Amino acid sequence: MPSPSVPFPSVLDLTPVVPVVVVEDLADAVPLARALVAGGLPAIEITLRTPVALDAIRAVADAVPDAVVGAGTLISPAQVDDVVAAGARFLVSPGWTDVLLESMRASGVPFLPGVSTASEVVALLERGVREMKFFPAEAAGGTAYLKALSGPLPQARFCPTGGIGPANAPEYLALPNVGCVGGSWMLPADAIAARDWDRVETLARQASTLK
C-alpha cells in the first residue's frame, strides 16, 4: 500500500472493497479508520454528508498514516479544493459535469466520477477518463448492466456503489470491468453507536478477503 507521500496509479487497485463512511461524530473518525485499516481496508471514502466530514478527513489524514483517505459525494469545485487541502488522496462524485470533472482533474488527485448510463461512460471516455464510479449500482441495473457495458466499452473500469453487500459483492468483483466495490456493510449503525471498533475490524477483515 502506498505511503502518504507516494502517489498511486488507481483507486480501483488499492483494495477489493472501499468502505463508504458517513461520520456523524468527529470523535469516531480516527478509531473507525484505524479499525478499517487493521481489518485490511486502507482505502476509506469519507462522504461529505455531515457537517464534520471535512474535519474527519483532516483528522484521519493526520492521525492514521496507513489509511488512504478519500472524499465522496463531491458535487462542486469548491468541495474539491476543500477536501484536497484537508488531505484527501482520492475523490469520488455521484455524478459529473464538465466543470466538476475539470476541477477533479486539475487537483492532481486520483478521482472516480459517477456514471449510471452508457452515454455518460462514452462522454467520459471521450475526455480521457477510464475509471469511474457506477452509482447507484443496484438501482441502475447491477451486474447485468455492467456485464452488458463490458462488450462495447471494455476500456472503462468501475467501482460500483449502492446496494452492495457481502452477498452480492463477489458477483460484481468477478466482472472484468470492475476493479473494486464500495459499501458500508462493515460499518453497521449499532456498532458505530456502541463504538465497537473490534466488530468493525472483524467485518472489515471479512470484506477484505472478497474476490
- Annotated active-site residue 171? The verdict is no
The residue count of the chain comes to 211
Residues 6+ apart with CB under 8 A from 144: none
- CA–CA separation, 60 and 142 (whole Å): 32
> Which grid cell sits at 110?
486520483
- Annotated active-site residue 211? The verdict is no
Contacts 24+ apart (CB under 8 A), 173-179: 173/16, 173/210, 173/211, 174/211, 175/143, 175/146, 175/147, 175/150, 176/150, 177/146, 177/149, 177/150, 177/153, 178/146, 179/10, 179/11, 179/12, 179/13, 179/131
Residue 54's closest CA among 35, 77, 81? Answer: 81
> Which grid cell sits at 32?
473507525
Catalytic pick among 24, 45, 131, 138: 45
Catalytic pick among 133, 138, 171, 211: 133
Q: In what order do the strands lie in the sheet with 131-134?
A: 114-115, 131-134, 157-160
Residue 127's closest CA among 113, 141, 108, 142? Answer: 113
Active site residues: 45, 133
